């Protein structure tokens, strides 16, 4: 059943019984997982080229700073494991560069309830150096958007600390 069909079905039940709506919405949430998108921006006193080259050569360190254990990294694929309050998750990401944006996308789930994750990083020139923009979209079956945001925010703070340690500002 598509998300649109589930939404129409849930809305049609609304007319007949509020109890059925609650049951239907809970089912839809569990069936399709929940997601959150988080973005973090900070400034470094360094050129975009310098920060971009550093990031490209330290993607494994960045992933570790975000709280992941890197199991394997070769041929632009990284297999990672992360222990969260929702349990252990393990997945493989494809690492690419789309224009000036560094991207990692989930390509295979090995363990846990992670459904999808897309991480992006890009660097924008400013008068004082560059802005670092980190963006993550994550979907985890059975987790609420608030739970996902909390976990992603903790990871992003640690990644920002890694950048700031390497580029004193």
CA angle 122, 144, 7 (to 5 degrees): 100
The pLDDT score that the predictor gives to residue 15 is 34
Tens digit of pLDDT for each residue in 39-87? 999 999 999 999 999 999 999 999 999 999 999 999 999 999 999 887 8
The crossing angle, in degrees rounded to 10, of helices 18-32 and 3-16 is 160
Residues 13 and 71 in one domain: no
For 85, the enclosing helix (H) or strand (E) is none
Residues 126 and 80 in one domain: yes
Residues 4 and 82 in one domain: no
Residues 129 and 149 in one domain: yes
Its pTM stands at 0.78
The pLDDT score that the predictor gives to residue 5 is 37
Residues 103 and 83 in one domain: yes
Residues 130 and 96 in one domain: yes
Residues 71 and 109 in one domain: yes
Domain count, the chain: 2
Residues 27 and 50 in one domain: no
Mean pLDDT, rounded, for 91-120: 95
C-alpha distances (whole Å) from 34 to each of 48, 87, 113, 167 are: 34, 16, 11, 35
Torsion of CA 162, 158, 81, 55, to 10 degrees: -30
Residues 19 and 94 in one domain: no
Residues 14 and 97 in one domain: no
The pLDDT score that the predictor gives to residue 155 is 95
The pLDDT score that the predictor gives to residue 96 is 96
Host domain of residue 43: 33-166
Residues 83 and 62 in one domain: yes
The position carrying tokens 């008068």 is: 127
**Please, which residues have CB within 8 angstroms of residue 49's CB and are 6 or more apart in sequence?**
none
Residues 16 and 60 in one domain: no
Could you tell me which residue, 166 or 21, shows the higher pLDDT? Answer: 166
The CATH number given to whatever domain includes residue 80 is 3.30.530.20
């Amino acid at each position: 059943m598509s998300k649109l069909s589930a939404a129409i079905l849930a809305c049609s039940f609304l007319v007949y019984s509020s109890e059925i709506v609650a049951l239907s919405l809970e089912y839809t949430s569990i069936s399709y997982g929940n997601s959150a998108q988080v973005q973090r921006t900070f400034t470094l006193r360094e050129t975009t080229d310098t920060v971009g080259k550093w990031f490209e050569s330290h993607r494994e360190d960045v992933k570790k700073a975000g709280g992941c254990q890197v199991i394997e990294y070769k041929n632009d694929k990284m297999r990672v494991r992360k222990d969260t309050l929702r349990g252990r998750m393990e997945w493989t990401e494809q690492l690419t560069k789309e224009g000036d944006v560094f991207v990692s996308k989930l390509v295979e789930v090995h363990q846990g309830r992670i459904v999808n994750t897309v991480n992006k990083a890009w660097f924008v020139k400013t008068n004082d150096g560059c802005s670092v923009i980190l963006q993550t979209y994550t979907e985890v079956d059975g987790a609420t958007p608030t739970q996902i945001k909390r976990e992603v925010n903790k990871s992003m703070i640690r990644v920002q600390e890694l950048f700031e340690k390497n580029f004193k500002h």
